């Protein structure tokens, strides 16, 4: 009986999405977008707290990723800075306030979510 080596049929490493989930509405919108992108298969939402906390299995999976997307709600860039502090430079970056979203005036409603998804999808392609 011969052994057959099985490989991933897509032959690509995962695309990981790290999201702001802050207290402001733009943070909630980032979180909803990351979850929606995961549901549609564009990438996989992943644990930013684990990266920040130096959790080795999470860091190892992040190192193995084919692409990283940092989605920040505002110019504080907490997601981008957390990834960089852990040694992950060059992640694709989306900051909602650069695209007309404002803290306190951007509820996580369907219309806003669709706008964020339109901005994020090309960054994962």
Quick check: is 42 in a domain?
A: yes
Question: Where in the sequence is the domain holding 114, given as residue range(s)?
Answer: 15-124
The answer to whether residue 95 is domain-embedded is: yes
- pTM (global) more than 0.85: yes
Structural domain contains residue 67:
yes
What is the number of structural domains in the chain? 1
Within-domain flag for 3 = no
Q: Is residue 115 part of a domain?
A: yes
Chain segment 41-86, per-residue pLDDT in tens:
999 999 999 999 999 999 999 999 999 999 999 999 999 999 999 9
pLDDT digits (tens, 9 = 90+) for 15-33: 999 999 999 999 999 999 9
**Does residue 10 form part of some domain?**
no
Residue/partner pairs of 111-117 with CB below 8 Å, 24 or more apart? 112/29, 113/29, 113/32, 113/33, 113/36, 116/29, 116/30, 116/32, 116/33, 116/71, 117/33, 117/36, 117/37
In a domain, 2, yes or no: no
């Amino acid at each position: 009986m011969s052994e057959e080596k099985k490989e991933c049929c897509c032959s690509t490493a995962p695309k990981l999405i790290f999201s702001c989930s802050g207290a402001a509405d733009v943070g909630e919108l980032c979180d909803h977008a990351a979850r929606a992108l995961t549901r549609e298969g564009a990438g996989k939402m992943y644990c930013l707290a684990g990266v920040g906390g130096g959790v080795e299995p999470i860091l190892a999976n992040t190192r193995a990723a084919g692409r990283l997307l940092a989605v920040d709600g505002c110019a504080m860039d907490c997601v981008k800075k957390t990834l960089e502090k852990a040694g992950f430079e060059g992640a694709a970056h989306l900051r909602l306030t650069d695209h007309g979203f404002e803290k306190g005036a951007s509820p996580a409603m369907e219309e806003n979510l669709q706008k964020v998804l339109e901005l994020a999808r090309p960054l994962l392609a």
